[in-house]
Structure formats: structure tokens, C-alpha cells
Amino acid sequence: MNAEEYKALVDELIELLDEGIYIVDSQGVGIHYNKAMAGTEKVHVRDVLGKKFHEAFPDFELGESTIYRALSRDQATRNAQQTYKNLYGKEITTENTTIPVMVDGRTVAAIEVSKNITDLRRVSDSLLEIQEGKMEHAPIRGREIMKYTFDDIYGENERFLEVVKRARKAAINDASVFIYGETGTGKELIAQSIHNNGSRAGKPFLAQNCAAIPESLLEGLLFGTAKGAFTGAVDRAGLFEQASGGTLLLDEISAMPYDLQSKLLRVLQESYIRRVGGSRDIPIDVRIIATVNEAPEELIAKGLLRKDLYYRLNVINISIPPLRERVDDIVPLSEKFLDKYNRRYNKQVWMLSDGAAQKLRAYDYPGNVRELENIIEQAVSMADNEHVLTEKHLSMPEEVVPMQEPTTRYDQTMPLDKYLSSVEKQIIADEMVRAKGNISKAAAALSIKRQTLQHKLRKYDIR
């Protein structure tokens, strides 16, 4: 195969990939540039191929370019964030991995793999600007953010009342709180109530879902950034600084990357933060409330939650029971929701029929109180002029899928936990092969979050 045929082969290969691929020769001239990369950087392929990288992307200073560092210093860069203007003046934010290609001790090329995170960067910046009060036209303008207190918490179940009693005690001190509860059980309601009934009530309450922001942006969002931390970085306070004197709720903390969890642990131990790329230690006074929707012991066993971080946060532990374990609260809660949505939709549905109450109590609510509220809202909004809500108004799953005979036999020669880990490792490895190494595709096929899959790949050393 001659050089021209080899280049055509490589071009075809990189076009099959979802990630953006940019390859330059030893002189920095673009020799491969796929359509995914062109889409990422919002330029045409012809703008890059055959041109030196600093001509195709003139906004970069040479010292800031990961390609320049790869060619001139043989320096690899992994998961670097860059904000720059393309050839047409459009601002782009990418996450890049760039490596030098070495042959016989000399650099003959550099390969850059890139992912466009412009929209995510914009969302992250907007979140911080909204908190700082700098945005005149914030998305939530004209609408007050709900502030929950213990008066908004309703339940008669004895176990649930003990949870509320424990949360009230937590409100009168400043210790870290760790809340476990399935999705929809009211973790943020409890967290806000603790804040709004304590000594920090007049100070900020900020919440961040750790699963909603990618790893490359989460650290800057939490700790802030210093100018020069990455190309395009500006001096900006993170959520820890903005929540000074108040409370920071870290929702789904187990979705936080493992390395970042260790940095968070250090912040909690030392009570200061350092902005990404900064050199100055900034004292903080923030109460942390963390939540998870899986049992923390299981998360630790899966390698998703650091044990030392869990113990540091778990000063006050609150475990919210799922709705299926507080059946005696289902009808009283339904009646509360009836009142709420009668007012919202201008209806007069005064009560539940016996049949409706029985149907509501028989359901197991995988979405917990949030799902029950949605069921009642839908029923009230669709009701005509009835005053009684009957079972015919309730739309909820009723069929139970019968259990099938197991297709996998347990290998009794090893402990169950090791056997399950070996099965999980094989499933993930097989799916990564099918996805041709594409983590996003594999995560979608396995119906898990991309960050969760990344944790498991590291845990099982799957490459």
C-alpha cells in the first residue's frame, strides 16, 4: 500500500468515528480532519487541510496550543478544556486530548481528539452568572424559586415523622448532612428545610446536581476558575464562594468523578478552596448537604463513592423511606395534592372515591411522592365537572411482568460479589467492543450514565 492509499484508508477510518479527529504532520500541517471535527469547530474541512494549525486557528497563541506542545515538546495533553474563536470569529469551547506520534525517537505527527462542549460551557457560565446576579435576563426572571420549610413537609407515617424530627435537629447545628432516598422521595425538600430553619437561613442556598454537568466543567463550576487556567478561562467565583455563609447542596454526589471527590474531601477538611488554575487559597464557610439515590454502602462497593468522603459528610445521616414503605401516607398526600391542583386548574374535585383510594394504595410508586403528585395532577387537570376523583381518572401502570426463569447460572466456586463483578466486567467489555470503544454509545446501550460507565471502566481496568 502506497502513501496515497494509506492516507485514503485513514481518512475513511476517522470519518467512521463520532469524535472529532485532527492530525497534523511534523510541520504542523493538517493531513487528516474529519467532518465531526469540522462540526465541532464550526469550520469547513478545506479551511484546515493543507494549512498549518496556527493559520487554520489564528486565535491561539502558540504556547497555549495543545498541538504545538505535542510537536515542539513531545507533550501529551488529556481532557484539556479550550475556549477560542474559530476562523470565522465564532467562540468555541472544546475538550481535547492531544498526543505526539513518535517514530524512532522523533515526533512525526500529532493527533487531537476533540469534543464540543460549547453549549455545556455556556450553561455552566450562566449558572454562575445567575447566582452572582449578573444576568439581567436570567431564565428564571419573574418567577420566584420555591423556598421549602418543614411546614411544606407532610406525612403521618411514624417512620417518616422520625425522619422529619431528625432533620429538625440537624437544622439547629452546622454539621454536614448526608441524605439517602430514592428518586422522588423529597431529598431537596428536606435539605432546603434544614437550611431555612437554621442559623444560615438568611444566607445563600445553592444546589448542584453532580450528574448534570460533565467532569470537565464540574470542577470549575464548584471551585471557580482563574484567568489562564485554560485557553479562554476568566476569573470567576465558583459555587463554594457564592454560597459563602450559607449551604451548598450536592445532589447525586456519587456521580462526581472519583478524582474530584478527593479534592472535595480536601476542601472539607481544610475549609478553603483554590480556583482551577489559581494559586491563592480562599477560605470558605459553607455547610454541605449531600444526597444519593442509592444505598451509600452499595455505591462505595461499586467504586462510585469514596469511603473517606462518605464518612466526612455522614456526620448527620438521614434516610428517607420510599413511599411504598409508608402506605398510610398515600391517601393523605393525595388529598393534599387534590387541594393544590384544584387551585391551580380551577377545579372542584373535593374527594377520592373508595375505589380510587384502593387503587392508589395498591401501586408501588417507583417514582415515589413525585410520581404520586404527577398522577394526581394529571387526574385533576383532565377531570370535567366531577367532584369525586374515581379510579377511572387515575392513569398508572397496572400490569406486573411475570418473572422468567433465570438464564444465568451462579458459579458457586467463587463468592457471589466476585462472581457478579466478573459478569458485569464481561458485559461492559463486550459492549465496549460492540461500540468500537465509544463510551457514549456503550453507556446508552447499557442504560447507564456516561460518568458511571467511566467509573466502571477504571474500576475493572477495561481499555
For CA atoms 87, 93, 97, 98, the dihedral sign is positive
| CA separation for the pair 358, 361 (Å, rounded) | 5
Is residue 120 pLDDT above 70, yes or no?
A: no
Picking from 296, 319, 342, the residue at the C-terminal end of a domain is 319
Over residues 395-420, the mean pLDDT reads 61
Residues 112 and 211 in one domain: no
Residues 355 and 445 in one domain: no
What percent of the chain has a predicted confidence (pLDDT) above 90? 43
The residue type at 119: D
Do the domain assignments include residue 183? yes
Kindly give the interhelix angle for 450-459 and 416-434, rounded to the nearest 10 degrees: 120
List the one residue out of 190, 430, 413 whose CA is nearest residue 289: 190
Domain holding 424: CATH number? 1.10.10
Query: Across the chain, what does the average pLDDT equal?
Result: 84
**pLDDT at position 400:** 41
Do the domain assignments include residue 409? no
Residues 314 and 333 in one domain: no
Is residue 191 pLDDT above 70, yes or no?
A: yes
Residues 294 and 352 in one domain: no
C-alpha distances out from residue 72 to 200, 228, 445, Å: 53, 21, 40
Do the domain assignments include residue 400? no
Residues 149 and 298 in one domain: yes
Indicate yes or no: pTM above 0.85. no
Domain holding 171: CATH number? 3.40.50.300
pLDDT by residue (tens digit) across 29-53?
Answer: 988 888 877 877 777 888 888 888 8
Residues 342 and 266 in one domain: no
Cβ atoms within 10 Å, residue 434? 12
Do the domain assignments include residue 402? no
3-state secondary structure of 151: helix
Picking from 116, 147, 182, the residue at the C-terminal end of a domain is 116
Structural domain count of the chain = 4
Do the domain assignments include residue 403? no
**pLDDT at position 117:** 67
**pLDDT at position 138:** 38
Residues 28 and 145 in one domain: no
Residues 38 and 163 in one domain: no
Do the domain assignments include residue 197? yes
Residues 311 and 198 in one domain: yes
Residues 352 and 436 in one domain: no
Supply 60's cell numbers: 491561539
Using a 10 angstrom Cβ sphere, with 0-12 exposed, 13-18 middle and 19 or more buried, the burial of residue 20 is buried
Residues 376 and 444 in one domain: no
pLDDT by residue (tens digit) across 214-270?
Answer: 777 888 889 988 876 555 567 888 899 999 999 999 999 999 988 899 999 999 999
Do the domain assignments include residue 192? yes
Domain holding 378: CATH number? 1.10.8.60
| CA separation for the pair 298, 296 (Å, rounded) | 5
List the one residue out of 328, 436, 341, 428 whose CA is nearest residue 380: 341
**pLDDT at position 436:** 80
Phi then psi for residue 150, to 5 deg, are -65, -20
Is residue 346 pLDDT above 80, yes or no?
A: yes
Do the domain assignments include residue 254? yes
Range of the domain at 138: 120-319
Residues 9 and 108 in one domain: yes
| CA separation for the pair 134, 216 (Å, rounded) | 24
pLDDT by residue (tens digit) across 50-102?
Answer: 888 888 888 777 777 888 888 988 888 887 777 777 777 777 778 888 999 98
Picking from 66, 82, 116, the residue at the C-terminal end of a domain is 116
